[in-house]
Amino acid sequence: MQIDETDAELMRLLAGNARLPVATLARRLGLARTTVQARIERLERDGAIAGYTLRRGAAARAAIRATVLVSIEPRAAAGVLTRLRALRGVEACHTTSGRFDMILEVAADSTAELDRTLDEIGDAQGVRGSESLIHLTTKIDRR
């Protein structure tokens, strides 16, 4: 799929506020409303736009966030992933190359809850080791 500059700008506007009316998007892009609607439908159909979501404000987010770097035993990924899916605090899991096999995004409402989640990650069969990085202050967030 080819994404031109207009598509990229449309997606940037939607990323900033997915609830913008098509008429407002059309006005900002200098295009007809029907053209913008057709572009949105094409971007959705072709998979460039996978969906729309809610971004939580600071008042509704977990108080503590961490990145957890995980090393696993060979051929243990499926079992580890099954265990991680069951942990409420694990928001995302990415495989990676290098010294660690997975990067987890973890959220908790308290240090005690984070500690429990980290213990459960470390106790999962197939986990060789982990390293936790507690997020202090967000300086850039383009999500």
Q: What is the tens place of the pLDDT at every residue in 66-92?
A: 999 999 999 999 999 999 999 999 999
Q: What is the tens place of the pLDDT at every residue in 89-141?
A: 999 999 999 999 999 999 999 999 999 999 999 999 999 999 999 999 889 87
Domain 58-134 indexed as CATH 3.10.20.740: no
The per-residue pLDDT for 45 is 95
Confidence of residue 142 (pLDDT cuts 50, 70, 90): confident
The per-residue pLDDT for 54 is 79
Q: E strands of 27-118, at which residues? A: 64-72, 90-95, 102-108
Strands 90-95, 102-108: pairing is antiparallel
CATH topology of domain 5-45: Arc Repressor Mutant, subunit A (1.10.10)
- Domain boundaries along the sequence of the chain: 5-45, 58-134
